[in-house]
Structure 1
Amino acid sequence: MTRTVSANITLSLDGFAAGPDNDMSWLLETALHERCAAGFAGYYRGVDTVLLGRTNYEGFHGWWPAVADDPAADPRSRDVSRWFDAVEKVVFSRTLTDATWSNARVARDPEATVEELREAPGRTISVFSSISVIRTLLAADLLDELRITRIPTVLGAGVPFWDGALPRSTWTTEEIQTIPTGAVVSLLHRA
Structure 2
Amino acid sequence: MSASPSGASRRVVTWASVSMDGFTSGPDGPQHDTWLYEHAMQEGTAVYFEGIWRGADTALLGRTNYEGFHSVWPSITRDPATDPRTRDLGTWLDTVEKVVFSRTLEKADWNNSRVAGDLEAEVAALKRAPGRDILVLNSASIIHALLRADLVDDVRFAMVPTLVGGGLRLFPDGLPASKWSLAETTALAHGAVGLHYRRA
Normalising to structure 2: TM-score of the pair? 0.92
Q: Distance in 2 between matches of 1:37 and 1:21?
A: 23
1:21 matched to which residue of 2? 29
| Segment of structure 1 superposing worse, 159-168 or 170-179 | 159-168
Aligned-partner residue type, residue 21 of structure 1: G
- Of 103, 127, 130 in structure 1, the residue corresponding to residue 136 of structure 2 is 127
State the superposition RMSD in angstroms.
1.1
Paired residues of 1:30 and 1:179 also in contact (CA < 8 A): no
Q: Distance in 2 between matches of 1:76 and 1:169?
A: 35
Q: Distance in 1 between matches of 2:42 and 2:121?
A: 37
Paired residues of 1:107 and 1:113 also in contact (CA < 8 A): yes
Q: Distance in 1 between matches of 2:43 and 2:159?
A: 16
Give secondary structure in 1 for the equivalent of 2:164: coil
2:112 matched to which residue of 1? 103
Aligned-partner residue type, residue 117 of structure 1: L
Q: 1:12 and 2:19 equivalent?
A: yes
Q: Distance in 1 between matches of 2:189 and 2:173?
A: 32
Count of residue pairs brought into register by the alignment: 191
CA positional deviation for 1:125? 0.2
1:154 matched to which residue of 2? 163
- Of 21, 39, 44 in structure 1, the residue corresponding to residue 53 of structure 2 is 44
Identity of aligned residues (%): 49
Q: Distance in 2 between matches of 1:21 and 1:175?
A: 30
Structure 1 unaligned runs (5+)?
A: none
Q: Distance in 2 between matches of 1:169 and 1:146?
A: 12
Q: 1:136 and 2:145 equivalent?
A: yes
Q: 1:170 and 2:179 equivalent?
A: yes
Q: Distance in 2 between matches of 1:60 and 1:29?
A: 17
Q: Distance in 2 between matches of 1:42 and 1:121?
A: 21
| Segment of structure 1 superposing worse, 30-39 or 88-97 | 30-39
Q: Distance in 2 between matches of 1:178 and 1:51?
A: 26
CA positional deviation for 1:75? 1.6
1:49-90 residue CA offsets vs partner (Å, 9 max, x unmatched): 000000000000111111121022222111111111100000
Paired residues of 1:92 and 1:107 also in contact (CA < 8 A): yes
Q: Distance in 2 between matches of 1:70 and 1:114?
A: 34
Structure 2 unaligned runs (5+)?
A: 1-7
Give secondary structure in 1 for the equivalent of 2:29: helix
2:40 matched to which residue of 1? 31
